[in-house]
């Protein structure tokens, strides 16, 4: 009897599709932007083999989560582009080719700072040039601020207003409202700091992106030294507030431009490389209670080989221990896209995420009425929360739900499904669009 009802329901949907008056465009992962363990996978083709222009480059593969579980999605990390637009373009072309071929199931790109050399340059041309390349990515990009993004060519108090926020605020706004990144939330603050702190979900992973870039006016060469600000420290603490985030049922990923490294605190050179030991200990104590949830801290900033020989102590991968010596999580540094010494080619890190919860859904349309079906690998009576992107939500135990949108309103909506099953919780977003009918 159940089987007959399912077949009957499918038949009704098919008839409705034949009668559809409005075309529904569904964008699962390849939505345009505005306008853990280290592992070099033997079965993954190298970036050197796949770069369209033929320039040699390097790709590193990193697995996080229990590798006994399947890969449920991947994301890319690139960092420290500085002023190398040609190299950045090659990397973006490779990422788009990888997405088109469905090789690594890349869902988004993390850009971990130093997008330019002088982000405080008054005409902002460097940041806009980088943005014009990143906008061609076929998945969302998520920019994190770096120390060079707040450097400037002047000295003293004659510092232009910060422009990183001006250049990328629309991208952040799109990540929150239109792009398929679940629960993207960015703090709100104002001049002159504009700290870029935000968080988002993806599947069962909660990502916290932190701005530890100093705004202190020590002059052009030292502005951007990693230091703790009250704003970012408060933000990080709030991310672990159980009344806001269900940390117990999610895994945590940390992102910043500056690496979190105990070894780096012993660095004796003059470059703005490492947290001071006092700041390191403050962060260590803040994160220790949540060590069982944190998988990795991803960062950039360090160039290989380093410009300063004293920085040779800096590790690409470092296990972070608590004060008792117990392992907490791993800091993973991605090599620079630029590389001042021209002995390394552009670098890309592809992070493959393994999990036993794979959240996904589909939809079919009849005019402005949409039927959503959950295809996650959970039992029938798992809790599902649907956010339809128009201000309306619904919670249900059934794997399917219908929702009507405002007739005649041709626009896009970010639909988010959050699934709760036992001690697992994960979210995914798709974007649906109602394009205007073509003129006859």
The ranges assigned to domains in the chain are 37-354, 360-433
Which pTM was predicted?
0.84
Q: In this prediction, what percent of the chain has a pLDDT beyond 90? A: 44
Give the pLDDT of residue 272: 65
Question: What whole-number distance in Å separates Cα of residue 98 and Cα of residue 40?
Answer: 17
Give the pLDDT of residue 420: 92
Question: What whole-number distance in Å separates Cα of residue 378 and Cα of residue 399?
Answer: 10
Domain 37-354 has CATH 3.40.190.10: no
> Which regions of 337-423 does DSSP assign to beta strands (E)?
347-354, 361-366, 369-374, 383-387, 393-396, 400-404, 412-421
Tell me the average pLDDT across 64-91.
Answer: 90
Is the pLDDT reported for residue 413 higher than 90?
Answer: yes
The conformation of residue 372, written as its DSSP 8-state character, comes to E
Least confident of 31-40, 56-65, 309-318: 31-40
The contacts of residue 188 (CB under 8 Å, 6+ apart) are none
Give the pLDDT of residue 36: 36
Give the pLDDT of residue 247: 65
Reported confidence tier of residue 159, pLDDT bands at 50, 70, 90: very low
Neighbours of 423 (CB within 10 A): 8
Tell me the average pLDDT across 345-358.
Answer: 86
CATH number of 360-433: 2.60.40.10
Encoded tokens for 79: 């960092």
Is the pLDDT reported for residue 70 higher than 70?
Answer: yes
Most confident range, picked from 28-32, 85-89, 138-142, 187-191: 138-142
Tell me the average pLDDT across 346-355.
Answer: 88
The contacts of residue 251 (CB under 8 Å, 6+ apart) are 65, 204, 205, 206, 293, 294, 295, 355
Give the pLDDT of residue 23: 46
Provide the 3-class DSSP secondary structure of residue 338.
Answer: coil
């Amino acid at each position: 009897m159940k089987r007959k009802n399912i077949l009957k329901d499918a038949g009704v949907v098919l008839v409705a599709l034949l009668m559809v008056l409005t075309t529904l465009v569904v964008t699962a992962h390849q939505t345009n932007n505005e306008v853990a363990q280290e592992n070099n996978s033997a079965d993954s083709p190298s970036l050197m083999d796949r770069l369209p222009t033929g320039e040699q480059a390097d790709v590193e593969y990193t697995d996080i989560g229990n590798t006994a579980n399947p890969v449920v999605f991947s994301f890319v990390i690139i960092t420290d582009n500085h002023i190398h637009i040609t190299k950045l373009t090659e990397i973006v072309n490779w990422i788009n080719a990888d997405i088109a071929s469905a090789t690594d199931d890349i869902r988004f790109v993390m850009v971990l700072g130093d997008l330019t050399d002088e982000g405080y340059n008054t005409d902002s041309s460097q940041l806009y040039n980088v943005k014009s390349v990143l906008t061609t990515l076929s998945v969302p990009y998520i920019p994190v601020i770096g120390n060079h993004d707040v450097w400037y060519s002047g000295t003293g108090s004659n510092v232009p207003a910060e422009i990183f926020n001006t250049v990328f605020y629309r991208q952040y706004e799109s990540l929150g409202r239109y792009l398929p990144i679940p629960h993207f939330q960015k703090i709100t603050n104002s001049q002159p700091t504009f700290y870029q702190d935000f968080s988002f979900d993806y599947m069962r992973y909660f990502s916290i992106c932190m701005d530890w870039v100093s705004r202190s006016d020590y002059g052009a060469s030292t502005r951007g030294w990693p230091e703790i600000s009250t704003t970012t420290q408060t933000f990080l603490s709030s991310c672990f507030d159980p009344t806001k985030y269900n940390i117990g049922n999610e895994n945590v990923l940390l992102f910043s431009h500056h690496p979190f490294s105990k070894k780096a605190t012993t660095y004796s050179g003059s470059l703005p490389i490492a947290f001071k030991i006092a700041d390191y200990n403050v962060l260590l104590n803040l994160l220790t209670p949540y060590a069982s949830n944190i998988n990795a801290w991803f960062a950039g900033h360090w160039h290989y080989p380093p410009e300063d020989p004293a920085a040779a102590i800096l590790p690409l991968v470092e296990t972070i221990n608590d004060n008792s010596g117990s392992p907490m999580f791993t800091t993973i540094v991605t090599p620079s896209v630029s590389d001042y010494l021209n002995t390394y080619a552009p670098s890309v890190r592809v992070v493959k995420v393994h999990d036993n919860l794979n959240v996904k859904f589909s939809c079919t349309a009849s005019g402005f009425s949409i039927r959503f079906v959950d295809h996650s690998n959970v039992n029938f009576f798992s809790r599902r929360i649907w956010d339809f992107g128009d201000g309306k939500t619904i919670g249900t135990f059934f794997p399917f739900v219908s929702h009507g949108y405002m007739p005649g309103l041709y626009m896009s909506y970010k639909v988010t499904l959050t699934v709760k099953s036992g001690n697992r919780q994960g979210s995914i977003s798709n974007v649906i669009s109602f394009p205007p009918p073509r003129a006859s």
